[in-house]
Amino acid sequence: MRGFLKKGLPEVGMMTPFKLTDELVAEIEQLIEYQKDSQLVSLLEEVHYADVAEIINELNALEATYLIKLLESDKTSDVLTELDDDVREAILNNLSSKEIAGELEELDTDDAADIVAELPQEIIQEVISEIEDREHAKDIVDLLRYDENSAGGLMAKELVRVNENWNVLTCVKEMRAQAENVTRVHSIYVVDDDEKLKGRLSLKDLLTTSTTAPIRNVYIPKVDSVNVNEKPEEVAKIMSKYDLEAIPVVDEIGRLVGRITIDDIVDVIREEADKDYQLAAGISQVVEADDSIWELTQARLPWLFLGLLGGVGAASIMGGFEEMLKEHAILFFFTPLIAAMAGNVGVQSSAIIVQGLANDDLKGSISNRLVKEMLLATLNGIILATILLFFSWWWYGNFFTALAISLSLVVVIIVAGIIGTFIPLFLDKRGIDPAIATGPFITTSNDIFGILIYFLIARLVLGL
């Protein structure tokens, strides 16, 4: 048994980070094949559930199901929440309704509801009916009615609440009873007889106040909360702004219905960052490296097609200036530079705006933002164009041709900066994710505009 630990897992008490190796996976597969249950349990007993999930992601469906059934539900329930979606789906398909219910019993309601929502519609009722804790089952069903892209779909029902009419002694007794079902007590919320959120209770005030004092004289009336219909991204902004570990969720009439904790918000932020990163890279839907070739093609092809159209458009523009290119062939050699600068400046400008929108720290009007970007682009353009002027003049020996190229660069940079600033703001106003503006969309559009401006200014300066 010690040999298995040496090959893949750290000794108990050591702080060595878990590292998944092919050797460890092979050892576990072998233990499963020969049904060495006691060795498997011992091997994984001290391994964090997230690391167990990492191991199971590398097994086939039958091996993964074998491990889930072998280990205790208080661990495997958390493992299920960490698995890749397709692996979890395969395992759930191999479990009975009663076995799934046993896993859900150990989870907080928000995680349980997420798993139930993934089940086929025809077996959801069977699974719910197998949950022995009827209050837990009721809470799960209640959460299923909320849109997954809302605070209601993100919240958990587990929390500690006290009534404003209780005294401190009654409050402490009730808190002890409620805390048994709550993994972590972040805050104590105060409600009235209609379950409407009134405020929060400081543990320090509770401990230093007479046991006969009414809670209404002790609690803090100011408490940040969100509505059940609030978007997860907005909840993330509020919790980040006020450094909250948890935030209460209220319904349309102000009743306390749940809470959202920081671990759920971290998941939201990570998913949003992944989506924005892929949009910026020209991938139209969230995919992973292990997805099928067809899924990856569907995600990538639309923007690649846009790039193709942009290239055709740029070639058509250049075709319209064929005679000028024959007379001043050097203009052709600077075309990639102009297109690249237009794309780079546009991406830089849009990235700053998208980041500001995401962090909700953009100040001032759109017109002021555009003026600022235009001044910034002008300064950058003049500096870069001056360098390009002397280089192209030295190379080609014709001042007016060098002037045409340099002047074009200034104008192209200004226009690209304005477009890179305006498009994300416009998309955001229209309810479209502005992250799309940092990818091929902005690059392609600026390439086309940049080349058109380049040749038009060159024709004007050179008198052609």
What is the enclosing helix (H) or strand (E) of 2? helix 2-8
Alpha-helical (H) ranges within 16-84 are 22-33, 37-44, 49-56, 61-70, 73-82
Q: To the nearest whole number, what is the mean pLDDT of the chain?
A: 85
CA 227 to chain centre: 21
User: Residue 387 — pLDDT band, cuts 50, 70, 90?
Assistant: very high
**Domain spans of the chain, in order of start:** 2-154, 160-262, 293-462
Assigned token pair, 385: 């164009």
User: Residue 351 — pLDDT band, cuts 50, 70, 90?
Assistant: confident
User: Residue 229 — pLDDT band, cuts 50, 70, 90?
Assistant: very high
Which has the higher per-residue pLDDT, 184 or 438?
184
Alpha-helical (H) ranges within 242-365 are 262-280, 293-319, 322-327, 330-333, 335-359
CATH node for 293-462:
1.10.357.20
Indicate the fold that domain 2-154 takes in CATH: MgtE N-terminal fold (1.25.60)
Q: Are 254 and 196 in contact (CB under 8 A)?
A: yes
Residue 191, SS3? strand
Yes or no: is domain 160-262 CATH 3.10.580.10?
yes
Q: Is the predicted pLDDT of residue 177 greater than 70, yes or no?
A: yes
The predicted pLDDT at position 277 comes to 65
Give Rg (Cα) of the chain.
30
Q: Kindly state the average pLDDT of the residues 290-297.
A: 72
pLDDT digits (tens, 9 = 90+) for 364-379: 666 777 788 888 888 9
CB atoms within 10 A of CB 372: 13
Assigned token pair, 62: 């039958």
Residue 353, SS3? helix
Q: Is the predicted pLDDT of residue 27 greater than 90, yes or no?
A: yes
Residue 197, SS3? strand
